[in-house]
Structure 1
């Protein structure tokens, strides 16, 4: 397919049908032809920020293989546009498509800091690390405008509460002052996602994310300032970035990362259709190979929901990937690990100030 047919700056190349809706939206050929004749854009490809007002902000995570017990999301939808993102399916619950809508209809929770503060002050709450964000990136482009993540970090610092961060955006360095203050009390752990060392791969896989160079610099700067960093090599996609495991591990270790984690891509729900359309448009020469190897990791299908299997896959290709990650850990991270966050301070700071007795 010609480059003119690809929507630049976006991961998904279509809006797939929302499974909860009876009716579907379709861009007809006669409408596209009319727009072309009139010199009009059929799709302006703009991002919209839409305010929402949830009653709660902290979510309990019940999945046994996710690695977190509590999470919070300041934004729903993500402008980064990572084609593989598992969070795309959640956008359907809000009435949107998991495709382009996920990247262009960003729901903004401006009340998140107030909701978080109320949660942390609950008498029944016992401190446990809360992760920003378990679903969509807390430092996506919207954060530059709304600064909700920064406000939430200020709340965590005020109440001396442990917090984890997952991001692939260098914007996190804007909040280095707060991160350093949290790190002094062992209250922060950062997870930076780096899926490739190739900018070519990064641009098509994660179109609106920070460059690989900036992400590596972020790992280095955070580490040099005493902020523990784990790098997420996630997801590993056969025949796209699976050959980069060892070089990636070596590079992030050299930049100060204390550990790595990984998952093998799974394409549940609408993501299978979105990814298949994308890979046939962007990598037509190897699309079938990529899809077949993903299927090989999940018992012959693109999706996988079984706990214990969905993150690591099964079969020969999955075994090779998992073995390579184990080798990378033993080779580049021997004797290193992320510290356990401090959950002991919060109780005496629940009122916002330290108790005298």
Structure 2
């Protein structure tokens, strides 16, 4: 048996006739950048997330950049974030000349340990950027409380958690600005690059809307330094379709995760989803000691795996200038050495799940 990790082919095939009609509509109208499909998507995203403003942008990375630019982040500022994440989180901070300041993670959720944040705040701190990793939102109530106390903005990096709930609030709705990605392999993914920003602050929304088109408030009139961060209208058309089916996809992902946990929890450390939260299962990530051996064995059996993420940010060569060393963030380092993600998509069958788990257990 050969398993597909994300099964993007099936994601297309399931609604192919809808996708093809939508793409042809855009092509025949020659509305390639922004347009009515993007307007429709932004209205639907705003309604789904239950926030005041939603803005489609060119990628999840650009969403983070746009959020920080709108908040006025600049050289010399500090932003507190996690070292256990995809590089875009810390990279975008550095791209603006600001300093990523890392705090370690909670071993149970892999998300930022809120109890460590206040110890990292200085007079240069301007924002906190928690990452809602693997599909589960961070402890945003506590993070928001700390931010309010110190007059800081909070940017949720929700690239992996769009659709998740935290105490009844959707991911992207619970902080100053929420940022997500629609990269194809995300739970809600388009067929190229795409992303979105969300806020309840009209001033921030107006700034981000202008900044995504080079700071332009009317043609050739530029109020801000901005970027080319517009959403491709073809991707918006695709996302309009996928968003209509998204709750069903989340439910199917949840069913896959439940079966994994049921079959594996006696053998390995399985994901811990807090009672006040849900996950959209961007990844199903276990922890094991013999990772490389197990990955090799599973590959032989036609089962792909992935490691999200093998090297924490503070140990990446590009961040050597920050002066960190091994041992500075021990929980992140331990998790980075042990995490392994199993195939996760809405289309995994019971037989495929059983094949994956039985092979994994056999080779532990």
Q: TM-score, normalised by structure 1?
A: 0.26
Q: Which one has more relative contact order, counting CA pairs under 8 Å at least 6 apart?
A: 2
